[in-house]
């Protein structure tokens, strides 16, 4: 382990909710919950104002509504979150070539790689400067942990929440870890935690006292050995700049079980096309097509087919997914469907696939991605207005959807750098209303005054 706290862990505070508050002045300082809004939806994240009521990530949305009925409930805007995330990641890459993203809002940085930090004062200065830069560029806040290992840096950032910086100085690790619950350590999930609890082990100190032999007996050689090392604060894992993508997949959970076999087949085709768009966006192709089906009784089945070579052809993926579906019984109903591609490569072998019909198959598929299947074009689809998403009205300008239903959509007209805006209601088919891309966030209030975070510095992601 290092002699200086030069590994940095950044965790953006309540990232999705903070982005929503930053882009919607009327929601700043208020309870905001982001996630799936259907009967089976779950909370992706929520602001600290919502957590006061007991709401937390991964909670069923129905339960969140009971706890915080007056909160703002929004559908995620993942494309926008990715845009903001990339701005943050660019700031991290300016610090070091060794940046290991863990998710859109979380990453490790090796501060020694470019000589940015070499001891505790220089590391602290780099962390403070990063937090200032993130605030200036995005208007959001992040919590920073600094330590001599990845495990400890992550623990430090959790202690820094919200909107803070914590340094764990080398030599203090064992004393810091000792009273913490075993679930604090990486790799200790609910099942392992319960297993240890039944053995009388609740804290990291008790984990260390149990000894390596006992942990190997309880958890197996690999897990027991690794956990014992972490209990002693030993973590030699390096910061890895590139994490290899092993698969690309998409899935949907349905509010009401799908019983109609034809509808299930159409959903699988749609998911296959989405999966290919994501695959192509990453410049990848793959050999193995995977179908995931969760049935009415929560049993989950996966079926896979390995092709003769990698492909990113939508027709090939659709046909493979359809063949896989033929082997699955969906009689009782389906609550979740997913299509994925694994065995990834950065090249294709389209010539291997005789099942691709016609030399213009790819052109036809691109047209369908833009316009939808020909038979669907004959009947205009009902316009859908997800809560929280951006719209523009020909007369009133830019706004966002507060809610919709019964043929009406309610819009609040405001922008990231305006004050709270007025609310108006329209018919869902109002010709003056259109969906638009989000406006960029601003890091400072009009007039030069800075806003620390969407909730006055009280926003933090639960780990």
- The CA–CA distances, whole Å, from 121 to 5, 125, 214, 426 equal 9, 6, 40, 57
**Which DSSP helix (H) or strand (E) runs through 380?**
none
Task: Count other Cβ atoms within 10 Å, centred on residue 293.
Answer: 22
Between the alpha carbon of residue 252 and those of residues 104, 285, 304, 413, the distances in Å are 20, 22, 18, 31
Nearest partner of 286 among 372, 365, 353, 240, judged by Cα: 353
3-state secondary structure of 316: helix
* Cα(147)–Cα(184) distance, integer angstroms: 16
Residue 371 token pair: 């316009």
10 Å Cβ neighbour count for 233?
Answer: 24
**202-227 core/surface letters (b: 16 or more CB in 10 A; e: else):** ebbbbbbebebeebbebbeeeebebb
Q: How many CB atoms lie within 10 A of CB 89?
A: 17
Nearest to 143 by CA among 354, 410, 459, 415: 459
Q: Measured at the alpha carbon of residue 358, what is the angle toward residues 354 and 361, in degrees to the nearest 5?
A: 105
Closest to 311 measured CA to CA, from 347, 359, 271 = 347
The catalytic residue among 20, 49, 100, 106 is 106
Q: Tell me if 9 sits within 8 A of 130, measured CB to CB.
A: no
Question: Tokens representing 442?
Answer: 């601003």
Q: How many Å apart are CA 301 and CA 329, to the nearest integer?
A: 10
**Is residue 162 reached through a cis peptide bond, with omega within 30 degrees of 0 on the bond before it?**
yes
Q: In degrees to the nearest 10, what's the CA dihedral of 76, 77, 83, 86?
A: 20
Whether the Cβ atoms of residue 109 and residue 95 lie closer than 8 Å to each other: yes
Q: Give catalytic status of residue 242 as yes or no.
A: no
Name the residues annotated as catalytic: 106
């Amino acid at each position: 382990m290092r002699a200086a706290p030069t590994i940095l862990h950044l965790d953006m505070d309540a990232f999705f909710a903070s982005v929503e508050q930053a882009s919607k002045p009327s929601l700043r300082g208020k309870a905001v919950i982001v996630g799936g809004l259907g009967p089976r939806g779950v909370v992706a994240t929520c602001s600290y104002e919502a957590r006061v009521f007991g709401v937390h990530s991964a909670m069923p949305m129905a339960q969140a509504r009971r706890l915080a009925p007056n909160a703002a409930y929004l559908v995620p805007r993942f494309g926008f979150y990715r845009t903001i995330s990339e701005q943050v990641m660019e700031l991290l890459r300016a610090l070091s070539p060794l940046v290991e993203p863990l998710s859109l809002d979380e990453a490790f940085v090796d501060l020694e790689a470019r000589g940015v930090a070499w001891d505790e004062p220089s590391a602290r200065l780099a962390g403070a400067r990063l937090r200032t830069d993130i605030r200036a560029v995005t208007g959001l806040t992040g919590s920073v942990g600094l330590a001599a290992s990845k495990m400890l840096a992550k623990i430090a950032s959790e202690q820094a929440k919200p909107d803070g910086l914590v340094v764990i100085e080398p030599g203090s690790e064992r004393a810091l870890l000792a009273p913490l619950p075993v679930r604090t350590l990486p790799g200790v999930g609910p099942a392992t935690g319960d297993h240890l609890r039944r053995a009388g082990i609740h804290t990291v100190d008790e984990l260390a006292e149990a000894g390596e032999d006992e942990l190997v007996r309880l958890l197996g050689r690999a897990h027991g050995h690794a956990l014992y090392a972490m209990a002693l604060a030993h973590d030699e894992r390096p910061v890895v700049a590139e994490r290899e993508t092993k698969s690309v997949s998409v899935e949907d959970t349905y509010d009401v079980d799908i019983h109609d076999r034809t509808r299930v087949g159409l959903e699988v085709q749609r998911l296959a096309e989405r999966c290919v768009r994501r695959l192509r966006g990453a410049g990848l192709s793959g050999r193995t097509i995977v179908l995931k089906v969760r049935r009415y009784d929560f049993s989950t089945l996966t079926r896979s087919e390995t092709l003769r070579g990698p492909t990113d052809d939508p027709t090939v993926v659709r046909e493979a997914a359809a063949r896989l579906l033929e082997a699955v019984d969906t009689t009782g109903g389906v609550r979740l469907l997913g299509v994925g591609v694994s065995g990834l490569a950065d090249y294709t072998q389209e010539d291997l696939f005789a099942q691709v019909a016609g030399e213009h198959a790819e052109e036809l598929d691109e047209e369908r991605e833009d316009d939808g299947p020909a038979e669907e074009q004959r009947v205009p689809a009902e316009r859908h207005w997800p809560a929280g998403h951006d719209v523009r009205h020909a007369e009133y300008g830019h706004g966002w959807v507060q809610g919709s239903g019964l043929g009406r959509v309610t819009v609040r007209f405001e922008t990231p750098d305006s004050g709270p805006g007025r609310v108006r209601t329209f018919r869902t088919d109002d010709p003056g209303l259109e969906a638009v891309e989000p406006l960029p966030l601003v890091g400072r209030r009009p007039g030069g005054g800075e806003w620390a975070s969407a909730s006055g510095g009280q926003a933090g992601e639960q780990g």
